[in-house]
Structure 1
């Protein structure tokens, strides 16, 4: 996805993690949210902030329930944000202070079907308001979107951009399928061309051997193959799922 994919004509949303009640109170009553400067996503700028709530929030846990308009951004020290914690080890570290308007409850929660690590998700307001689950929020290139739509139409439950870490290198699996007898990594690769627009996939590559050692079955598809032969690609994926006794309904990945 490029910056041009999220145009100014379509309001942009940054989904961020909310993992404790104090920070939720600050967002609601004081109107701001903080992001460590060194860990900020590349696409931090947005028109709205949405909050993915973790296990601390009881019945609202593991879902996006609230969003708010973003007013402005500042870069400040943690000490100035939280002056009652002057001895905190990160007191002098820099943070983005995101000032927000009133929190609004979404028409319906956007749950995470599988418990997984989520940090930031750049999306659009239209996707936020239409999403039925977390994976609907991610905004991929046209090939990814085509496969995601095919998964939904065929009842194939998948996790998009599933994170993995190998030593110091971080990776993402384009689509992770969790089965009763194993896990399937569907990885799109190579150069694709959709509607005369070329897309080169540049994410770090993890070896099939390393994935297999972790218990993954790896299915790699060149983007052009998915464009030209989606039904046969889907048959191959469904065959791999059947060999592992179907998809699992367990929450943990």
Structure 2
């Protein structure tokens, strides 16, 4: 009976960990406004994203009119996106798009056609652009929304994830607490603490390995959701997705390392426990 209880608690701990890991990662990197901005700032260090943003800024500047050489604008844009000010401003621009999905401030993230947009006005008003554009009598508006997709799927609608932003933090904390509770109960119910500790390590290994497979499946679904984007916007989106995958892989690797360490510790404790019992039964 005790073995059955310990096995049931181990299964619950494993299931809770499988839910907690992606939930806490998503809350920290995607749902939380500051976390998403930090995530976007990390992505902005990628040269591919920098070049794609430079191309998009060049296009938008040329669309404003004025007698300015495209090559000059392209050079200024490339210099700006490779500079130190770009990552933070790119993060701020992504806050604009984040509000579109996760808050009720949907008007701040859409244009007249209801398309998902990102505001690049602050970038164009950076000193790297402002002086040159003023010299060519090109006025840059304070806000210049650029559509990210022409036909957003149902999963990408204004305010669609507002409830996630509201309840996500509570859920992530709750499921994390459950992992700890079930793990402690598993250790308490097991006859051998060492074997129980090793079993919990196996749980982490299983969740980590399953997570790697799940990320690959999720990547294909994300690619399908991005079919309505193209050109530079698609390049930017691909880098953002790659950055998210790399971050999730880091979390999964840490889970695998911790799981392996728990297995080793559990085996050592079980061996020491066995030796201690043998010493008690067979004293010198």
Larger Rg: 2
Give TM-score scaled by structure 2 length.
0.20
Give TM-score scaled by structure 1 length.
0.21
Higher strand share: 1
Higher helix share: 2
